[in-house]
Amino acid sequence: MLELAARLRDVRFLRYLLASAGALAVDMGCFLALLAVGTWPAAASAAGYTLGIAAHWLLSSRAVFADGVAERGAGRVRQKALFVGSALAGLALTTAIVGLGDTAGIDPRLAKLAAIGASFVLTWWLRSRVVFRCSR
């Protein structure tokens, strides 16, 4: 609990939380729209998450980790690849949680909520420690 309180004081973490909320709006909007038209819940979750990835790169690279963004060229390409890799790790976790929840008879929207929390923790760690190499 103390670690969470320390993180909340971290401005970078708060900006990441806001960027994540924006990306989540894109993700959930797509997810709910696809569910409404009868798409398989795990596929709807994957599609929403994928659109959220693009939104998150834009927000993260410009508002959260701007001081850690690589210069144009090979360094930037490598960083984008690492970002996509972190997103794919989150996507795999999200899709698995929603798919397992659906198989277990859990409402896909509830499973998605659990997946959001798990994916947030995983991607924050990967992006802050690997992709943008921040010491915070």
d(Cα 128, Cα 13) in Å, to the nearest integer? Answer: 9
Would you give the DSSP letter of residue 37?
T
d(Cα 55, Cα 72) in Å, to the nearest integer? Answer: 20
Amino acid occupying residue 95 = T
The stretch 14-30 carries a mean pLDDT of 92
Tens digit of pLDDT for each residue in 99-127? 999 999 999 889 989 998 999 999 989 99
The stretch 8-34 carries a mean pLDDT of 88
Cβ-Cβ contacts under 8 Å for 110 (sequence gap 6 or more)? 101
pLDDT band at 6 (very low <50, low <70, confident <90, very high): low
Tens digit of pLDDT for each residue in 36-88? 999 999 899 889 988 998 899 899 888 888 888 888 889 889 998 999 999 99
Pull the structure tokens for residue 28.
């959930």
Inform me whether the pLDDT recorded for 13 exceeds 90: no
Pull the structure tokens for residue 120.
């947030």
Pull the structure tokens for residue 20.
């994540």
Amino acid occupying residue 24 = L
Q: How many CB atoms lie within 10 A of CB 56?
A: 26
Inform me whether the pLDDT recorded for 136 exceeds 70: no
Q: How many CB atoms lie within 10 A of CB 13?
A: 18
